[in-house]
Amino acid sequence: MTDAADLRTRVADLLAAHPPATTGRAEFLRARFDAGLAWVHYPQALGGLGAPRSLQAVVDAELAAAGAPDNDPRRIGIGLGMAAPTLLQYGSDEVRSRFLPPLWVGDEVWCQLFSEPGAGSDLAALGTRAVRDGDDWIVNGQKVWTSSAHVARWAILIARTDPDLPKHRGITYFVCDMTDPGVEVRPLRQITGEAEFNEVFLTDVRIPDAHRLGAVGEGWKVAQTTLMNERVSIGGSRIPREGGMIGPVSRTWRERPELRTHDLHQRLLTLWVEAEVARLAGERLRQQLVAGQPGPEGSAMKLAFARLNQEISGLEVELLGEEGLLYDDWTLRRPELVDFTGREAGYRYLRSKGNSIEGGTTEVLLNIVAERVLGLPAEPRNDKDIAWKDLAR
């Protein structure tokens, strides 16, 4: 059985064969994947060793100490945090072997084609259609709020394959080629002035049935795997003390005493404690992940993440006064990733407004926590047994 000592030996062998100082980044990352040191809890030949998930920290620490490159996880976060767990659980052997290596190495960026203009919070009401045509599916529809679509090579996609069934049942899950000529990506300009996400139009897009994940009509079940992992990746990432949003405002408080007031001090203390509680709760959540798949607790973490980001960024703007309203670039940019801490306070304040929408709205997540964590009675759902085609729209 693989243990920490065995992993350290494997890392040493990798470093000896591929010294980071003289090995290209891509070559090193591919060698790391082939050695089973990418995500150690994944199966052998898929970047792992079938080892306990908790041992990944041993590998990461050894490689960081040696100055080895990482795979830029923030840039490929959708692939790592959402697509990969779904591919692993529902993909065929051929699909997993094709997609997981370039996904982890970062050769191919992924995006998520879930939300639609008429079905955002109520994702199961989606109307994008997929119709079987021999060994392919032909997809038509529109998706919205798609982060990284402008740089993505592949997408995870859910589409309606049977409109005669209730909305949660007639959905199927696919891997979509973003280079297909029927895929059109248009930028959506945000309140920040940027366009990090997009609307995506799908016109007669052909998807081979081999790129279907899970059974036909069971896409909602497959999507739950994606969504639960998404909420953990958004709200449960490992950060050090004073990491995330609380870090910049704490530094400003220490370095600029002329800005301090008693009222802001009390609010900062409260938010600092809450941020630390959320960080430690995230550690507990990751311990649970070692034993199995993410559950509804990830929704609670994502809720806390969104509220804290918005309150902390609001406090920072108040602390800085007029200075807090400015940031360096209001022009239309197309960033590959979101950078909360590397930008000015005004940007953080505006961008954090989206935290209570992306990855599941606050209202939806409150329902999940109430029903699946606290065991409270479910809200009445009068449309759950009605065919999707008969729903009012």
Catalytic residue positions, numbered? 230
Tokens matching residue 5? 């000592």
Based on DSSP, count helices (H) and strands (E) in the chain, helices before strands: 12, 8
Degrees, nearest 5: CA angle 103-109-112: 105
Question: What does the alpha-carbon distance between residue 116 and residue 22 come to, in Å, rounded to a whole number?
Answer: 47
Question: What does the alpha-carbon distance between residue 160 and residue 174 come to, in Å, rounded to a whole number?
Answer: 11
93-105 vs 25-34: helix axis angle to the nearest 10? 140
Give the number of C-alpha atoms closer than 13 A to the C-alpha of residue 122, restricted to the C-beta side.
Answer: 13
Query: Do residues 215 and 161 lie in contact, with contact meaning Cβ atoms separated by under 8 Å?
Result: no
Tokens matching residue 252? 């400003």
Query: Do residues 59 and 7 lie in contact, with contact meaning Cβ atoms separated by under 8 Å?
Result: yes
Query: Do residues 251 and 268 lie in contact, with contact meaning Cβ atoms separated by under 8 Å?
Result: no
